[in-house]
Amino acid sequence: MNKFLLLITCYILFAASGIKAFAEEPQTSQKKSIVKAIKKHSKGNTKQDINYYYQLKKQYPHKYNFTDEQALNNLGYLYLSQGKITDALDIFRLNTKEFPHSANAFDSLAEALLKNKDKKAALQNYQISLKINTENSHAAYEIDKLKYPTIDKSKFTKIYSKQQYLEDIDELAYRLTTVNPNVYKFISKQKFWQLIKEKKKLIQVTISPINYAQFIWEISEIFASVSSGHTGLGYFNQQNEILPIKLRFPVETRLIDNKLYIIDGLINKNKVTSGSEITEINGKNVSKIMADIFKHLKSPGFIVSSKIDMFNGYNTALIAYSLGFPQTFEIKTKDNDNVIVLSPLKHYQSRPLIPAYQQCQKNLCLSTHKKIKTAIITIHSFNYYGSKFKTYKNFIDDSFKKIQNSDTVNLIIDLRLNNGGSSDTAILLLRYLAKKKFNYFARSQFNEKKGPFYPVKNRFTGKAYVLIDGNGASTTGHFVSLFKYLKLGTLIGEELGSNEFSTAGQNFFRSKNTEIFYTIGRYTYITATDSKNYTRGIMPDYFLTQSIEDYLNKIDTVLDYTLKLIKSNQH
């Protein structure tokens, strides 16, 4: 037979067989939901439900949709949300059997096992999930938490060999430069490797043995030099937890406008006064101490506000690390030039993340000021991934429904303290504010939606105000950048601790010898704005910093100013 005719014949036969198969095998959308069938048949016995599942699969393989992995997964999470952990485990196990190559199926099973306090089995399933999908950062994080459930505080004084320290620095440098695609964006290649060389030389020439605490402080400068919010040692938690109480700086301080103020004397209340400005600590000028500390704190680009807010959260530890853990602290204040010898701490409790003066003490709140027709939505976190997103969506949908059914004409969205989270949360919020369709990402690298996205039907049409601070990171920067670019309202507060650009989707690592935990961002995300300056945070329209007087008097400077601004605009 002619080769051309043979090819045509084969094509026709293949096509015909395909049409026949297509006629016999309905499209997925035409098939019935197997989960709905299970629910309808269920008598409350999951084992029987699973038997029924296999019975239907054998008898009616083309009638029901047996390829919908997510439907089974959702059923498992439904049981989990209802506290039916055993039922959830049965469904999640069914899902892993039906979809043995799904990382998500094993990840969900591991989560349920963890809720059932079966840590060994949870670890095994997270490891399977990570093996299937090496990009699954959630599984990697959970594996690390299961392997290292607590921080070993005894490691503070532990001494490793010089060779072990050098190996860990080399390993860190290699991972930073091979995993993070933007490692040289804010520091030159020459300066980065010069810093690595300096840290290694410090290890080699030091006569006195370097302990774990000193080493982790030194390498924190390497992370900070990369200027990436998702690359580093975390929020100083490791260093903070291993620090003995007696070595902490024994007064709480707050940095405001480059001045260090006492906000709580702690054990030294009889020696110092809240509101006093510290000028020297152990004979060293405060400005020099702060310059050293800032070299060790990460921030996106060259954003200072994020470093200030991190310092204010960990000040008792950071001052101790910077000064090399002195046994005694002596200070001078602006109103008292005499040296004050501080007593060491005996007990210490870190301050709450959300200040007491803020009305909302939860992650999500809605409140109203009826006299000025104003609603306040507080979102302290966008961290609502996976099944948790429903909680966030319900809150946002319900809040805007209440706003729509009221006479509200002003909306304040308080994003202070918000370290970011899921892009879906920001997109949903923008859809309630946007006047027209918009794109979210101009560039994204890992299953992130770019757009276009459209306003919801009942979008807010009044005046919108967003409150921001240096804590605002990651997705908060993405949201605020688009809020400003789309001209959706007014920004009030500090320079935001992030912007349009981020290197996120971090991988989790432990150093080979010292077992220090750290993360490295691996994907580039840029929101769809016209800004190309990624060195600074998003700037507010009205720049406000809380004074020391307002802080001590528990006055919410930024919110109070916004409410006054709204009142003045109404007259």
- Between the alpha carbon of residue 436 and those of residues 116, 396, 454, the distances in Å are 46, 19, 6
31-34: long-range contacts at Cβ-Cβ below 8 A with a sequence spacing of 24 or more? Answer: 31/62, 31/63, 31/64, 31/65, 32/63, 32/64, 32/65, 33/64, 33/65, 33/68, 33/71, 34/64, 34/65, 34/66, 34/68, 34/71, 34/72
pLDDT tens per residue across span 485-497: 999 999 999 999 9
Bridge-based pairing state of the strands 507-510 and 517-520? antiparallel
Angle between helices 137-147 and 119-132 (to 10 degrees): 150
pLDDT tens per residue across span 173-220: 999 999 999 999 999 999 999 999 999 999 999 889 999 999 999 999
For the cut 60, the answer to whether the pLDDT of residue 229 exceeds it is yes
The size of the chain, in residues, is 571
pLDDT tens per residue across span 435-486: 999 999 999 876 677 889 999 999 999 999 999 999 999 999 999 999 999 9
pLDDT tens per residue across span 516-560: 999 999 999 999 999 888 999 999 999 999 999 999 999 999 999
Q: Do domains 32-147 and 364-569 have the same CATH topology?
A: no
pLDDT tens per residue across span 317-345: 999 999 999 999 999 999 988 999 999 99
For the cut 60, the answer to whether the pLDDT of residue 78 exceeds it is yes
Count CA within 13 A, CB hemisphere, residue 254: 17
Angle, vertex CA 197, rays to CA 503 and CA 291, nearest 5:
65
For the cut 50, the answer to whether the pLDDT of residue 10 exceeds it is no
The sign of the torsion formed by the CA atoms of 229, 230, 235, 238 equals negative
- CB atoms < 10 A from the CB of 154, how many? 9
Cα distance between residue 355 and residue 358, in whole Å: 6
Is the Cβ–Cβ distance between 73 and 102 less than 8 Å? no
- Between the alpha carbon of residue 367 and those of residues 248, 364, 377, the distances in Å are 39, 10, 7
Q: What is the largest CA-CA distance in the chain?
A: 107
Cα distance between residue 473 and residue 477, in whole Å: 6
Is the Cβ–Cβ distance between 210 and 164 less than 8 Å? no
- Between the alpha carbon of residue 122 and those of residues 131, 150, 171, 300, the distances in Å are 14, 17, 29, 34
Name the CATH topology of 32-147.
Answer: 1.25.40
Residue found by looking up tokens 């600590």 in the block: 281
The architecture that CATH gives domain 364-569 is: Alpha-Beta Complex (3.90)
Is the Cβ–Cβ distance between 464 and 488 less than 8 Å? yes
What global pTM score does this model have? 0.85
Cα distance between residue 55 and residue 69, in whole Å: 18
Residue 527: exposure state from Cβ atoms within 10 A (0-12, 13-18, ≥19)? buried
The pLDDT assigned to 242 comes to 96
The pLDDT confidence band at residue 505, using thresholds 50, 70 and 90, is confident
- Between the alpha carbon of residue 41 and those of residues 48, 57, 88, 548, the distances in Å are 10, 14, 17, 65
- In 22-163 the beta strands, taken as DSSP E runs, fall at 32-33, 64-65
Residue found by looking up tokens 């993070």 in the block: 180
Is the Cβ–Cβ distance between 524 and 503 less than 8 Å? yes
Helix (H, G, I), strand (E, B) or coil at 337: strand
Buried/exposed 77-87: b ≥16 CB within 10 Å, e otherwise: bbbbeeebbeb
- Please report, in angstroms and rounded to a whole number, the separation of the first and last CA atoms in the chain: 91
Could you give phi then psi for residue 384, rounded to 5 degrees? -130, 85
- CB atoms < 10 A from the CB of 526, how many? 18
**Tokens linked to 314:** 């960990």
The pLDDT confidence band at residue 357, using thresholds 50, 70 and 90, is confident
Q: 452: cis peptide before it, omega within 30°?
A: yes
Sketch the domain layout of the chain as residue ranges.
1-30, 32-147, 152-353, 364-569
